[in-house]
Amino acid sequence: MFTGIIEEIGRIRSIRTGSDSCVLTVSAEKILSDMHIGDSIAVNGTCLTVCGFGQHSFSADVMPETMRRTNLGDLKAGSPVNLERAMAANGRFGGHIVSGHIDGTGRIQSLKKEKNAVWVQISANPDVLKYIVEKGSVAIDGISLTVAKISVQDFSVSIIPHTGEETILLKKKSGDTVNLECDIIAKYVEKLCGVQKSSGGITENFLAEHGFL
Cα dist from 103 to 60, 71, 127, whole Å: 20, 11, 9
pLDDT band at 133 (very low <50, low <70, confident <90, very high): very high
For 200, which DSSP code?
T
Residue 23's pLDDT is 95
**CB neighbours of residue 212 within 10 Å:** 10
- pLDDT given for residue 157 in this prediction: 98
pTM: 0.88
pLDDT at 180 over 70: yes
Of 121, 127, 93, the residue nearest 108 (C-alpha) = 121
Q: Is the pLDDT of residue 150 over 80?
A: yes
In tens, the pLDDT along 32-79 reads 999 999 999 999 999 999 999 999 999 999 998 898 889 999 999 999
The dihedral over CA atoms of 138, 140, 146, 148, expressed in degrees to the nearest 10, equals: -110
User: What contacts 104, CB < 8 A, 6 or more positions away?
Assistant: 69, 124, 125, 127, 128, 180
Check whether 198 has a pLDDT greater than 60. no
Domains belonging to the chain, first-starting first, are 8-85 (2.40.30.20), 104-184 (2.40.30.20), 185-213 (no CATH)
Question: Are the C-beta atoms of residues 22 and 15 closer than 8 Å to each other?
Answer: yes
pLDDT band at 196 (very low <50, low <70, confident <90, very high): low
Cα–Cα distance, 126 to 197 (Å, whole number): 23
Of residues 154 and 184, the one with the higher pLDDT is 154
